[in-house]
Structure 1
Amino acid sequence: MNPSETSGQQSPDLVLYGGKGGVGKTTCAAAHALARSIKPETTALVISTDPAHSLGDSLECDLSGEPTAVTDSLCALEVDAEAGQEAYRRVIEALAGEFRSAGLRLGDDDLERLFRAGLIPGGDEVAALEYFAQYAEAEYDCVVFDTAPTGHTLRLLDLPAVLSETLGVAGEVQQRVKRTATAARSMVFGPAAYWGAGDETDEVGSLRDRITMVGDLLRDPERTRFRVVLTPERMAIAEAERLVAQLDELSIPVDSLVANRVFENAEDCPCERCQRDAERHARRLREIDERFEHAVVSVPRLAGEAQGLDTLSEFGSSLFAGTQKR
């Protein structure tokens, strides 16, 4: 994402920050959205899809599952897993309604077991997808996603393909049951059995269309960019390498890497430890540059906690002004 991009688009830019737990994804996402929002006539929304939310702590405000105004041009929210799954509950209810129409007895307890049994897998991830679908076309210039650690995020990104197939099967079952029920009613009521038959909302088809849209959008380099966050440490580099490889397999466009918490200058503290840290990080940055084909943005370590708008604004300046390699 280039800071020189202009606003006024019909649909918002979508930026996802991901990586190993504890590398600073939330800070990067919040700072990115704040930096975009301070541009003239530009609005931004930052969304946390991590079940262990810390976005509100970073912005120092209380957040919910609905956009909360942080500044005049910046809003934020934290995905509400329960609210996000309402669409999937409606699918179960729609299927249950078809079964009942066909004469199959299905009580409320059976309905709840169907929902909890996981016809739609991955509770937190499916809620995040619903939010992605909801805000992908929202009236913001930029929507930034603070994603969960690597494993959760990969399940989230792989879920559209899984759900598309699952919902396709559910839709076929729904149509077969509907045809059976209609045929049975027509034997009793004749042509009157078909009155109003096309008025029902197709919850399964509607959800499948939204999921397909999300899957296509996640793979669209014109709209979506994934930024991998890592620190200049061996384990973080290795996990980032695996993440980039898996994103490539999923055809998710990786925009760049953010090397966070870099100890760049030991001149202020000539002690042996600081000199050693600076030298080690310099070696790790060279290693990152050699192992990845993507641009790398180097962001220096903050002196204090990454909380509050002033600190995030300072961090955002470093995030966009960081050295771009390649």
Structure 2
Amino acid sequence: MSGLDVEPVDEADAEGETETADNTIEVTPTDATEERTAIDVEPSGEPVDGPDYVLYGGKGGVGKTTMAAATALDSARRGTKTLVVSTDPAHSLSDTFEREISSRPERILEDAPLYAAEIDPDAALEDSQAAFAAEGGAGASALGGLGEFMGEDSPMDVLFGGAMPGSDEAVAMQTLLEYMDDDRFDRVVVDTAPTGHTLRLLQLPEIMDTMMGRMIAFRRRIGSMVDGIKGMFGNEMPEEGEDLRDLEVLRERIERLRATLRDPERTDFRIVLVPEQMSVLESKRLREQLAEFDIPVGTVVVNRVMEPLAEVTEDVRGEFLEPDLEGCEFCQRRWDVQQSALTEAHELFRGTDVRRVPLFADEVKGEEMLEVVAACLR
């Protein structure tokens, strides 16, 4: 493998024009003061015909938040009451929409029924939103203060042979359970955390359902013992505790969430990747891991593809800078890399709906650019 020779720049010529060698890549800067043409996106008048839940997953930095925000915006623009929620601790919904997003659902547009929330695990734990936080919450209270009878050992360690799931994932799942039953929203779009966190989130329904069964059985067993003791002293049998009924309700909601995630008619899990081999391979592993949970992948989104916007959608009019694949050697090399990855992605995800979103010169944030991305995802 030959080395790369980097020719230093002559400081004397730094402020003037320099003579370039034949193999030097010239970059012509754009005039920052140049007036730009407004972007015109053809709206879709058709109502949303799709799943109730859309989850975007993938490795960090591939554009999951952008896709989730664009999908939710497009859904709300077409009259569907839509909530976009981020379960990623590294929140960026606020940056994407260029406005402050609360930790609880709040309407963020006046002209469309769009709601947004960025789950804040710390705030949720303080408000007892998480059912199974290490301290407090419905799960801990349902144990009826067993910790004081077990010495220094955690009640969860004693009963279930291990620590509780991480608070981030527990809060995220509890919040999804809450929003499933929220009549304010007809559609929920979820911006998930990077792959590892997402898989732990998807494991929680199985883990917590098992825990629910054990906790309910344990509570009933203890309750029967206490009732027997009280009966010996002539006390009346008390009604089943409120905390036990809460656990059974939560178990039913967990089961509904699990069934919903596995139903392709109600849920579309969308994998986001960029056209690079490592990203394609990680996306393949994610799909295989989702299959272990019986969660189908309905859509694959390839983001930052170096191709003209007009080749992806005809619903957008405006001037967009495009890579110069003929005169720019760097652009050509990157395009060759992307073409190889795109071919591999189409082979690996054959039979799955594959959408492409171009690489834009401008940062994708704000409603105008999100509408452009939404047009690519339709």
TM-score (norm 1): 0.85
Among candidates 300, 306, 318, match of residue 263 of structure 1: 306
Partners of 1:93 and 1:199 in 2: CA distance: 11
Q: Give the CA deviation at 1:256.
A: 1.1
> Paired residue for 1:141?
186
Unaligned segments of structure 1, at least 5 residues: 321-326
Cα deviation digits, residues 109-159 of structure 1 (max 9, x gap): 979x54799753221111111111111233323210000000110111111
Moved over 3 A (4+): 3-9, 104-107, 113-120, 265-269
Cα deviation digits, residues 207-258 of structure 1 (max 9, x gap): 2222111111111111111000000011100100000111112111211100
Number of equivalences: 305
TM-score (norm 2): 0.74
What SS does the corresponding residue of 1:148 show, helix, strand or coil?
coil
* Distance change >3 Å, CA 145–CA 105, structure 1 → 2: closer
Q: Is the 8 A contact 2:141 2:243 kept in 1?
A: no
Q: Give the CA deviation at 1:193.
A: 2.8
Larger radius of gyration: 2
Q: Is the 8 A contact 1:7 1:141 kept in 2?
A: no
Q: Give the CA deviation at 1:267.
A: 4.0
Cα deviation digits, residues 17-56 of structure 1 (max 9, x gap): 00011100000000110011111x3221100001111111
Unaligned segments of structure 2, at least 5 residues: 1-43, 309-322
> Where do 1:1-326 residues align within 5 Å?
6=47, 13-39=52-78, 41-72=79-110, 73-82=113-122, 83=124, 85-88=129-132, 89-96=137-144, 99=146, 114=155, 120-138=164-182, 139-188=184-233, 190=234, 192-194=235-237, 196-198=238-240, 200-202=242-244, 203-265=246-308, 266-267=323-324, 270-293=327-350, 294-320=352-378
* Distance change >3 Å, CA 86–CA 286, structure 1 → 2: closer
Partners of 2:231 and 2:242 in 1: CA distance: 18
Partners of 2:248 and 2:139 in 1: CA distance: 9
Partners of 2:363 and 2:49 in 1: CA distance: 34
Q: Is the 8 A contact 2:48 2:75 kept in 1?
A: no
Which structure shows the bigger proportion of residues in helix conformation? 1
* Distance change >3 Å, CA 114–CA 7, structure 1 → 2: same
Q: Is the 8 A contact 1:8 1:141 kept in 2?
A: no
* Distance change >3 Å, CA 201–CA 146, structure 1 → 2: same
Q: Give the CA deviation at 1:95.
A: 1.4
* Distance change >3 Å, CA 269–CA 42, structure 1 → 2: farther
Q: Which amino acid aligns with 1:259?
A: V
Q: Is the 8 A contact 1:14 1:136 kept in 2?
A: no
* Identity in percent: 41
> Paired residue for 1:324?
none
C-alpha RMSD over aligned residues: 2.6
